[in-house]
A and B are shown apart, each in its own frame.
Chain A
């Protein structure tokens, strides 16, 4: 009977940064080199990549378990994902839907996701949107459309 083999936990931070480091170092190596003795445009990214790889090594060796609690409870997952999707949609619709409509809608959605009542959400969302529009468009001549 052999001893039970302890599985070392893999640190996602160490792996992620090591992967970025390798990519950076490789990309830096691919940049053109200057003919002279002065380092070219790829030198600094390559150094950054190698440094990242070197600094990720201690974390990788330590193999610290990193239990990531993305949300406190499952109830918080829904508004978080919905907000990210709503923001993505908002940015994708930037050139298609006028600022006042898309921003008011986003504000109402945001407040509704946090369980604010329809009436309050609509009032607060529209008021904030109007205030922003007045401040930026009327005051500073920033056109959001």
Chain B
């Protein structure tokens, strides 16, 4: 292990890698600070740019975007009450209240510290837990992978909020889309409509660019321009960083632990983690009434959780090949483009790369914190860029990004269709996360189930008799039907609650 760690460290000292990482952090902070642009969109739009770079340099840039965008999303949340990314929604509750009280500088410093704390704790978890999880995963066969895939997919119900059935349907649609192309076992063409471009299946990255880039712009246009006219109150006597840290250390730790756990759960993202962490921090606090009125502890818990998700999500993505959140789903596509298959085999065949990723994430967290301390104020001004210019940039980047992947106009059409579908699904309140999850996990579930059936000579009972498969399937059933039962209970109790 030490030789791979040393090799990764040596790589990290290369000026080009540090340069691409810093550029990625800068771009990520730009995407995070601009309301309407997200980390997922930033990574999806810039994956094609890294196609021409060596794997380590490309990954440095993409991980920089990921780590830069999430903390930067807190800047407009604190100063303008407009979350820069979905993960910073909970940061508006106390961050903006602090800003209104003339303590914006304190809030920005807490955002920087808690984000750094959360990211570093997440990286520590990745470094300690990833190898044991991967070695366990290496012992699994096709049947276990099928069970794991079904379990990952079943979590789509939990992340669909009140729209459980819509989420499950979107996930199934993702699975169906994954069947387009040549059958993995017999090479029989399915749903290709005679188009040779579809023989390789539905390209993942153009679909993501369409859903999260163009689809978002169409939804924003349909909702009208949001003016960012909030006033910012900044105090003249800003407290030193070390004086801000002490009181929020406990909340940052709690938020980070929740963030790592939520991040490790497939498809659950920073927004969910931050809300849970804020709520738990409020429950444990003796001054509950302060929360939502400008509590530094509430802000720290929310910011730390949103950022700790990165480590948890990367652990699940790298060890099992299942995305922990939306940005890591796009990162899977990026790794595949660079010839690396995320999953346990990555820990056997690309050990140096694993350590490179761990170190890149740690370095990105430090660079982001440094830039955050110096550049919060200019980034806050960027948040006032009028929406039409942002929309134009996103539309043009969506087109060029989708084309640049394979120099294929079909990919651009695919992105366009995915954008339209994303807009329609958003309007119909169908969550998009499960669709992406289905698209990613579909090939894993299908090919492993059929491989397991070939090995067992078509005997289904031998597959379901394997203990680990059974554990995964029972957990999947609980994950799928738990939220459904909870939803039914809520609907059942609603009339009584209303009458009270």
Interface residues of A (CB under 8 A from B): 12-13, 17, 20-21, 24, 27, 31-32, 34, 36-45, 48-49, 51-52, 55-56, 58-59, 66, 68-73, 75-77, 79-80, 83-84, 87-88, 90-91, 94-95, 103, 106-107, 110-111, 114-116, 124-125, 128-129, 132, 135-136, 140-144
Q: Is the CB–CB distance between A38 and B397 below 8 Å?
A: no
Q: Look across to chain A and name the residue whose beta carbon is closest to the beta carbon of B447.
A: A44
Known A-B contacts A45-B190, A72-B223; A39 and B453 likewise in contact (beta carbons under 8 Å): yes
Name the distance in Å between A128's Cβ and chain B's nearest Cβ.
6
Knowing A48-B179, A80-B222, the reply to whether A36 touches B458 (Cβ < 8 A) is yes
Secondary structure at chain B's binding surface: helix, strand, loop or mixed? helix
Q: In whole angstroms, how far apart are the Cα atoms of A115 and B409 in the complex?
A: 30
Contact yes or no, A144 B168, CB < 8 A: no
Q: Give 1 or 0 for each of B158-177: 1 = CB within 8 Å of chain A CB.
A: 00000001101100110110
Closest B residue, CB atoms, query A90: B399
Q: How far apart are the CA atoms of A55 and B396 in the complex, in Å?
A: 37
Alpha-carbon distance between A41 and B400 when the two chains are bound, in angstroms:
35
Once A52-B169, A56-B169, A59-B165 are accepted as A-B contacts, the answer to whether A44 and B388 lie under 8 Å apart by CB is no
Cβ contact within 8 Å between A37 and B458: yes
The smallest C-beta distance from B420 to any residue of chain A, in angstroms, reads: 7
B288 to chain A, nearest CB (A): 35
Q: Which residues of A contact B428 (CB under 8 A)?
A: 12-13, 66, 68
10 closest Cβ contacts across the A-B interface?
A37-B458, A114-B388, A41-B183, A41-B188, A48-B176, A44-B446, A17-B169, A71-B222, A142-B404, A110-B392
Chain B, Cβ-Cβ closest to A62:
B165
Which of chain A's residues have a CB closer than 8 A to the CB of B449? 44
Per the CB 8 Å criterion, the residue count for chain B at the interface is: 57
28 contacts between A and B (CB under 8 A): A13-B169, A13-B429, A37-B458, A37-B459, A38-B185, A41-B183, A41-B185, A42-B190, A44-B446, A45-B179, A48-B175, A55-B172, A68-B428, A70-B222, A72-B222, A80-B221, A83-B395, A87-B214, A91-B413, A94-B412, A107-B392, A110-B388, A114-B388, A128-B392, A132-B400, A135-B49, A141-B52, A143-B407
Asked, given contacts A45-B179, A58-B165, A114-B225, whether A37 binds B457 with beta carbons under 8 Å apart, the answer is: yes
Q: Give bound CA distance, A132 to B397, whole Å.
A: 8
Assembly CA distance A36 to B455 (angstroms): 13
Residues of chain B contacted by A32 (CB below 8 angstroms) = 188
A34 surroundings in chain B (CB, below 8 A): 186
Q: Is A38 within 8 A of B391, CB to CB?
A: no
A83: shortest Cβ distance to chain B, in Å? 6
CB distance from B276 to the nearest CB of A (A): 27
Contact B166 A41 (CB under 8 A): no
Which chain B positions have C-beta within 8 A of A132?
396-397, 400
B391 touches A76 (CB 8 A): no
Whether B348 is near chain A, meaning CB under 8 Å from some CB there, is: no
Which residues of B are found within 8 Å of A124, using beta-carbon distances? 389, 392
Residues of A within 8 A of B101 (CB): none
A68 to B426 Cα, complex, angstroms: 10
Select from chain A the residue with minimum beta-carbon distance to B389.
Answer: A124
A contact residues around B51 at 8 Å (CB): 140
The answer, among B176, B186, B221, B430, for a CB contact under 8 Å with A24, is B176
Q: Does B427 contact A (CB under 8 A)?
A: yes
Which residue of A is nearest B398, CB measured? A87
Determine whether B336 belongs to the interface, using a CB cutoff of 8 Å to chain A.
no
Q: Is the CB of A72 within 8 A of B224?
A: yes
Asked, given contacts A17-B169, A79-B221, whether A91 binds B409 with beta carbons under 8 Å apart, the answer is yes
The answer to whether B176 and A49 touch across the interface, beta carbons within 8 angstroms, is: yes
How many angstroms from the CA of A71 to the CA of B218 in the assembled complex? 10
A77 to B224, CA, bound (A): 10
On whether A116 and B388 interact (CB within 8 A), knowing A38-B454, A129-B396, A144-B400, the answer reads: yes
Q: Give the contacting residue for A41; candidates B168, B176, B190, B457; CB below 8 A.
A: B190
A5–B386 alpha-carbon span in the complex (Å):
51
- Chain B hits for A111, CB < 8 A: 388-389, 392
Are B222 and A38 in contact (CB-based, < 8 A)?
no
* Bound: A49/B172 CA distance, A: 8
Q: Is the CB of B458 within 8 A of A76?
A: no
Q: What residues of B have a CB within 8 angstroms of the CB of A84 in the complex?
A: 218, 420
Q: How far is the CA of A75 from the CA of B403 in the complex (A)?
A: 32
B223 neighbours in A (Cβ, 8 Å): 71-72, 76
Which residues of A lie under 8 Å from residue B179 when comparing CB positions?
A: 44-45, 48
